[in-house]
């Protein structure tokens, strides 16, 4: 069973355990399995708890699409600054945009949503919905300003791998 994740805001209630479990299950059932250091570092998985109008709950899981995958599919971008992957939170947000009958209750992302794109997206389109995460790069920086742990190391520990 994965460790309980951190929350945003800090005072949010506990994360529904189904969310990190769904993210780990997704990693374990892919081919290849996404639990090696390579994939833990390259892939971010998000799992969102939602409810339909009848009160039934479900979990939607989305991985990010890496830059490497986009280059394989479409070739390199015209400029280096345009080479960015598709964030898992953006993919999930679009999934829910197309399904307005679902109400998002909680959002789990293995990494804290980025401040530049995903954080603003979640605050604008899912206000009041708490976020949960295992890895926050800022929380793993030593006093010397250097990163002391990488996402893969944190996720390996959080998932008990």
Tens digits of residue pLDDT in 61-96: 999 876 777 667 777 777 776 666 778 899 999 999
Examine the pLDDT at 107 and tell me if it is beyond 80.
yes
**Percent with pLDDT over 70 in the chain:** 87
- How many CB atoms lie under 10 A from the CB of residue 138? 8
Using pLDDT thresholds of 50, 70 and 90, give the confidence band for residue 148: low
> What's the pLDDT band for 2 if we cut at 50, 70, 90?
confident
Give the architecture-level CATH label for domain 6-159.
3-Layer(aba) Sandwich (3.40)
Mean pLDDT is highest, among 72-81, 109-118, 149-158, for 109-118
Provide the pLDDT for residue 121. Answer: 92
Nearest residue to 152 (alpha-carbon basis) of 113, 110, 112: 110
Give pLDDT tens digits for 126-144: 999 999 998 887 666 555 7
Rounded Cα distance, 105 and 103, in Å: 6
Residue 6 pLDDT greater than 90, yes or no: no
Parse the chain into domains and list their residue ranges. Answer: 6-159
Angle between the N-to-C axes of helices 151-159 and 18-29, in degrees from 0 to 180, rounded to the nearest 10: 110
Q: Pull the structure tokens for residue 103.
A: 């109400």
């Amino acid at each position: 069973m994965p460790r309980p994740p951190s929350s945003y805001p800090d005072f949010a209630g506990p994360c529904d355990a189904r969310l990190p479990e769904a993210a780990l299950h997704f990693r374990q059932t892919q081919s290849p399995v996404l639990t090696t250091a390579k994939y833990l570092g390259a892939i971010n998985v998000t799992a969102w708890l939602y409810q339909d109008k009848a009160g039934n709950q479900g979990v939607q899981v989305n991985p990010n699409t890496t830059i490497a995958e986009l280059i394989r599919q479409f070739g390199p971008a015209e400029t280096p600054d345009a080479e960015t992957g598709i964030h898992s939170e953006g993919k999930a947000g679009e999934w829910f945009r197309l399904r307005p009958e679902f109400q998002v209750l909680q959002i789990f992302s293995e990494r804290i949503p980025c401040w530049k794109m995903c954080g603003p997206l979640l605050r604008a389109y899912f206000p009041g919905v708490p976020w949960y995460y295992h890895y926050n790069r800022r929380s793993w920086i030593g006093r010397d300003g250097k990163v002391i742990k990488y996402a893969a190391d944190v996720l390996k520990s959080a998932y008990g791998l």
